[in-house]
Structure 1
Amino acid sequence: MELLNRNYTHAKKRPVKIVQFGEGNFLRAFVDYMVDIANEENMFDGSIAIVKPISYGKLDLFEKQECQYSVLLRGLVDKEEYIEKRMITSIDSIYDCTADYTSYLSLARIETVKYIVSNTTEAGIKCDENDKFEDKPAKSYPAKLTQFLYERAETFNYDYTKGLVMLPVELIDNNGDELKKCVYETIDKWNLKPEFKKWVKESCIFANTLVDRIVTGYPKNESEAIWQQEGVQDELMVAAEPFALWVIESDKPINEEFPLDKALENKKGMSVIFTDNHKPYKQRKVRILNGAHTSFSLASYLSGNDTVLDSMNDPIIFGFMNKTINEEIIPTLDLPREDLLDFANQVEGRFKNPFIRHELLSISLNSVSKWKARCYPSVKQYIEKNHEIPKRLSFSLAALICFYHGVRKETGYLVGIRNENEYKIQDDQDILDFFYENKDTESLELVKCFVNKTNLFNDVELKDESINQISKYVTDIKLKGITECIKEDKLHE
């Protein structure tokens, strides 16, 4: 069978406008997919040069397939099954900066380059004190980027029209600001020319971004069947959900030259938003999508479900989730209600995606910090607004406390029991130690100790009432089980 290549895709040669640090599944199913659509719509006319930023990994498949691959989108859109298979031709070339530093640096000298995209993991946007300007290349991503920008500034004699737009998609708060801070710190540490720092400050943009799309990667168990159906072998294929959101915060307008928002206008469930403040969108995602995940997943697991899809097919858990979102989370958010309801509907469709098996136990990892970051802000604002306790979010914390009840301590985890079967409880060691030491503590005292340990409810007017409500739920869950508690308190209707 023919291996996918440029002859097969009839890829058009376009000027390189984007240098992308990272060759992983997410960028290829997200950014490169969007650029491909913009090219097809005759709105961008640019290609991508990928840089493999670390020595680990090989580029053999990219070279064999001439950087051509397909994206397979599967899920629900407007409650109907959606499947899309798209050949991606937006990548022009790929470079290994650790094996061929000279070729990598030559990308900085391409006049048409305008954007830098990166996904170097959350740990990638950090300075390394051991980095040196003479390294080829430097170890950390910010230092590599500094070398790249320096080469560009020198090549074009500090022409302010040749500055670049940095679009990091690493999952950290204010990723653009953090990257800029690291670049400035590196410039100072290396004692580079003052005019270089001035050029970076005045001609370059470091955008804060928010990204959202579930990318499941290479569909290993289905690949042979898909190859047979398509008549071509694609070992770089990547599968993802249809939903996609990219929020880009920039202090200067960039959407005219980078019109991904317009290119995706007719793609249901996909959007790019250019804004001067990405925080309301981040809050929406964290509170509704992540908050919903965290608020129902442990209760759902204890009730007997194993996956998110199981939970959505369970009318009791599904009703609990919907009520939590619509009555206790959305009323605390600042964006227009219509926008929030639309996002909530999309979240429901994503949770019901039959092509993704999302294990509740994998979601349970580090649930204490997740609940504090994702659910507690809604609790706090709900109390401030209504002067009463949100029942479902309080119940979700009680379910968390019950989930963390370990009967045995192992290295790095506790062992819990569900329906006579063991499961792993994984979190920071001090959290595990706390729950094990308090496994026989009665409910009210346990909740009081937990609240004090985690500094929850110290900043709300109903701390005592909240503790009493949560401890009541803990007792009820132990006596009656999750499902009966939700039914009795009518938390699902």
Structure 2
Amino acid sequence: MSIALDQAGIVQFGTSRFLLGHATAFVGESLAAGRSQHAILVVQTSNRPEGKAKARALAEQRHYPLQVRGLRNGVAVDSQRQVESIAGCLIAEEQWPTLEQHFVETARWVVSNTGDSGYHVADDTSLAELPKSFPGKLTKLLYARYRAGRDGLTLLPCELISGNGQVLKETVMKLARLDHADSDFAAWLDERCLWVDTLVDRIVSAAIEPVGAVAEPYALWAIQAKPGLVLPCQHPDVQVVESLFPYELRKLHILNLAHSYLVDQWHHLGLVSRVSFVREAMQEPVLREGLLRLLDEEVLPVLERKLPTLDLKAYRDDTLERFSNPYLDHRLADIAQHHQQKVQRRLQPVSEMARRHGLVTSRLEAAISRAASTVG
């Protein structure tokens, strides 16, 4: 299937395997099912040679394989399909004029996933011929669109930053104020562009060369509801929600908490030499049953008071199934990095909430105590 570039109402900053297994794939399935009409122009923004090689492969073939491997509702899934949502791919460093023209004339949505430091600006300026940072490039493109008299855009960042849409907005508006003595541009950014917070959740475990991805069956793209919001695609895993806070809390205090508790028990029970991966931990009865008891007897009773509108038992089941993925080599040693800080963020707040409600969380408190006593 060949898609014309003028169909690419979505401009996607980033060629990461995560985006290929997440937002880009959702758009492809939506297009294939006839639920939407807008394709993607992918933009490669870094100067990494491997990123440019992937971008050139995408520009040439405009499709890629997505392999979905894991468990879904107790059934093993191992399937591959072609994702055909890409109308083109540009390397910002080499094709800026073409990118700017498309951004001004065709774009309606911006999607991004630029890594943990993606919003870092340092001494960058959007007045540069080619700004170094993602916010610098975005500000320059938005200013060109504003100067052309075009309407604003909807921005749907996918970076793992709480309040990512608002953080990106503040970053861009700060650059705009520094670089342009134009209050109308600032008003256009504030009033005509829609900066939307989103939450992403999917393990995209491997790349397929030269371009493609391997992902688990589970996926979520939760998008904060806002007046005037129009989605770029329609997909069961894309959900518009009134507030992202419950979903962030659920992920942090069930999925992330469970990872850290497994690490605690892995060390405490002396299983480090016998068990390496999360999927192996789920085959150890003492680890699996201990985790299930923790969730059912200590974590869920607390969170149900805080998050009464969410089906926490269903998410618990999804989490355990994801942990049991036979195709995923998720090392417990990797999860164990910065364990003390993770325990403070993931486990301790649940224990504190429990105390406020008069609930007992002895397992949690023991894990918190062990983490606090660990040196290094």
Alignment equivalent of 2:142, drawn from 135, 139, 149: 149
Deviations 1:44-84 (A, max 9, x none): 11111111111113434543442321100100001110122
Deviation at 1:330, TM superposition (A): 1.4
Partners of 2:371 and 2:326 in 1: how far apart?
A: 26
The answer as to whether partners of 2:125 and 2:175 remain within 8 angstroms in 1 is no
1:80 equivalent in structure 2: 75
Deviation at 1:296, TM superposition (A): 1.7
Partners of 1:235 and 1:143 in 2: how far apart?
A: 29
| Distance change >3 Å, CA 308–CA 23, structure 1 → 2 | same
Partners of 1:139 and 1:175 in 2: how far apart?
A: 20
Deviations 1:185-212 (A, max 9, x none): 0111113421111111111111111111
Amino acid at match of 1:141: F
Partners of 1:105 and 1:331 in 2: how far apart?
A: 52
The answer as to whether partners of 1:205 and 1:250 remain within 8 angstroms in 2 is no
1:300 matched to 2:252: no
Alignment equivalent of 2:292, drawn from 300, 322, 341: 322
Partners of 2:245 and 2:349 in 1: how far apart?
A: 14
The answer as to whether partners of 2:17 and 2:204 remain within 8 angstroms in 1 is yes
Deviation at 1:134, TM superposition (A): 2.8
| Distance change >3 Å, CA 187–CA 331, structure 1 → 2 | same
| Distance change >3 Å, CA 192–CA 106, structure 1 → 2 | farther
Partners of 1:148 and 1:276 in 2: how far apart?
A: 30
Partners of 1:185 and 1:250 in 2: how far apart?
A: 25
Partners of 1:210 and 1:108 in 2: how far apart?
A: 25
Map 1:92-111 → 2, pairs under 5 A: 92-111=87-106
Unaligned stretches of 5+ in structure 2?
none
Amino acid at match of 2:232: F
2:36 equivalent in structure 1: 44
Alignment equivalent of 1:122, drawn from 97, 116, 119: 116
| Distance change >3 Å, CA 394–CA 258, structure 1 → 2 | same
Alignment equivalent of 1:272, drawn from 238, 244, 247: 238
What TM-score results when the alignment is normalised by the length of structure 2? 0.92
Higher radius of gyration, 1 or 2: 1
Report the secondary structure of 2:238's partner residue. Answer: strand
1:69 equivalent in structure 2: 64
Partners of 1:133 and 1:398 in 2: how far apart?
A: 48
1:11 equivalent in structure 2: 2
1:197 matched to 2:186: yes
Partners of 2:160 and 2:251 in 1: how far apart?
A: 13
Deviations 1:424-453 (A, max 9, x none): xxxxxxxx2xxxxxxxxxxxxxxxxxxxxx
| Distance change >3 Å, CA 331–CA 369, structure 1 → 2 | same
1:25 matched to 2:17: yes
Deviation at 1:400, TM superposition (A): 3.2
Deviations 1:302-359 (A, max 9, x none): 5312211121001111011111112211122233476111111000100000000111
Deviation at 1:126, TM superposition (A): 2.8
| Distance change >3 Å, CA 60–CA 126, structure 1 → 2 | closer
Partners of 2:52 and 2:28 in 1: how far apart?
A: 21
1:312 matched to 2:282: yes
- Which deviates further from its counterpart, 16-25 or 293-302? 293-302
Partners of 1:192 and 1:149 in 2: how far apart?
A: 15
Unaligned stretches of 5+ in structure 1?
1-9, 220-233, 265-270, 406-431, 433-493
The answer as to whether partners of 1:101 and 1:136 remain within 8 angstroms in 2 is no
The answer as to whether partners of 2:67 and 2:78 remain within 8 angstroms in 1 is yes
Partners of 1:169 and 1:241 in 2: how far apart?
A: 18
The answer as to whether partners of 1:55 and 1:99 remain within 8 angstroms in 2 is no
Alignment equivalent of 2:248, drawn from 260, 282, 302: 282
Report the secondary structure of 2:226's partner residue. Answer: coil
Deviation at 1:132, TM superposition (A): 2.6
Report the secondary structure of 1:11's partner residue. Answer: coil
2:161 equivalent in structure 1: 172
1:55 matched to 2:47: yes
Alignment equivalent of 1:339, drawn from 293, 299, 311: 311
Amino acid at match of 2:320: E
| Distance change >3 Å, CA 102–CA 337, structure 1 → 2 | closer
Identity %: 26
The answer as to whether partners of 2:27 and 2:233 remain within 8 angstroms in 1 is no
**Alpha carbon RMSD of aligned pairs, Å?**
1.9
Alignment equivalent of 1:34, drawn from 22, 26, 33: 26
1:187 equivalent in structure 2: 176
What TM-score results when the alignment is normalised by the length of structure 1? 0.71
Amino acid at match of 1:83: D
Deviation at 1:258, TM superposition (A): 3.2
Deviations 1:1-29 (A, max 9, x none): xxxxxxxxx33447011111101100011
Deviations 1:129-148 (A, max 9, x none): x2233312211211211111
Report the secondary structure of 2:350's partner residue. Answer: helix
Report the secondary structure of 1:167's partner residue. Answer: strand
Partners of 1:241 and 1:78 in 2: how far apart?
A: 13
Aligned residues: 366
Partners of 2:321 and 2:260 in 1: how far apart?
A: 17
Deviation at 1:109, TM superposition (A): 2.0
Alignment equivalent of 1:246, drawn from 215, 221, 234: 221
| Distance change >3 Å, CA 34–CA 364, structure 1 → 2 | same
Deviations 1:211-251 (A, max 9, x none): 111111225xxxxxxxxxxxxxx631210111101111142
The answer as to whether partners of 1:299 and 1:400 remain within 8 angstroms in 2 is no
